[in-house]
Amino acid sequence: MSKQKLVIVGAGGMVGAAAAYACALRSVVEEIVLIDRSPEMAWGQAADINDAMGLDRSVSVRSGDYDDIVTDDIVVITAGAPQQPGQTRLELLEVNVGIMRDIVQNIRKNDAEPFIVVVSNPVDVLTYVALKESGLPKHRVMGTGTTLDTARLKSHLADRLDVNSRDIDAYILGEHGDSSFSTIETAQIGEIPLAEYPGYTPELVENVEQTIRDRAYKVIETKKSTYFAIGFVVSKVVSALRQSNSTIYPVCSLVEGEYGLDDVVLGLPSTLSSDGVKILAGYPLTDREREALQHSANVVSEAIRSIA
């Protein structure tokens, strides 16, 4: 396990670079390899991160190519057309499906069996594409899912209730997109139900799901893209995949019977460890949340059928 590398495909873009930087700063692996369609850009990003680590270096970052990938490496895919202001993630689908298929074919060309983490949008559909194209076992292929959305929800609640976000038990689940939904009804702070926590008011969570959805669009409108937050999320996911003990994040992976759904990829509470990803099937959902999950599954399934 100590020789396990992190390989980031699409490292020339801001998301890939931010992910590489976050992983280097947190020392989640000993070696990071950057791949990009522009080898010069990959080299430059690697050199810049290495320079940043020069005063306290514990991670080697370098540019490379697909031949560097071996079994059990963690491959993070950030490549693809970026989301434009006013554009939904699903509108990115047609162009990014072709990019994803080409990347996965290159990852598997030497028959290596890595763990694949998809970041590119629309992440749920592209994770499905990556799984089917790779032929890998489903526990080895996942996307970041609604982990970033969940981070936004926790940040929102933490700011308004003046608590540490680590103490908040709440998720955004489903599609990483406009059909996502929250578990706000059963949210807790520590072991205290959210609705009973000092300072809580109904206005605090009014339209909270739309507020969280809109946050990404607002960031894109102001700075053209989001990358710091998702970069940190990638570092947490990669770190979890390096541990023997399980960590729970709402990543997305193939659903096969869990929650009454089948053959779709959605963000659901899942365990991550050195064994890969496994959906946590017993997470309690209210009737409203189950209806929202079914709606989200229908949205993603329709998008998957459109590319079949």
| Distance between CA atoms of residues 299 and 294, nearest Å | 9
In 10 A of CB 291, how many CB atoms? 12
| Distance between CA atoms of residues 184 and 204, nearest Å | 11
Tell me if 96 sits within 8 A of 120, measured CB to CB.
Answer: yes
Question: Taking the alpha carbons of 206, 210, 216, 222 in that order, is the dihedral positive or negative?
Answer: negative
Question: Which residues are 79's β-sheet partners?
Answer: none
Could you give phi then psi for residue 66, rounded to 5 degrees?
A: -65, -25
Three-state DSSP class for 153? helix
Question: Which residues are 115's β-sheet partners?
Answer: 74
> Which spans in the chain are helix H?
14-25, 39-52, 93-107, 123-134, 147-161, 208-223, 228-241, 287-306
Could you confirm whether 176 is annotated as catalytic? yes
Nearest to 28 by CA among 86, 77, 76, 95: 76
Q: Which of 139, 156, 176, 295 is catalytic?
A: 176
Spacing of C-alpha 11 from chain mean position? 16
Nearest to 29 by CA among 45, 54, 8: 8
| Distance between CA atoms of residues 98 and 92, nearest Å | 11
Question: Taking the alpha carbons of 221, 233, 268, 158 in that order, is the dihedral positive or negative?
Answer: negative
Beta-carbon contacts of residue 257 (< 8 Å; ≥ 6 apart) = none
- Annotated catalytic residues are 176
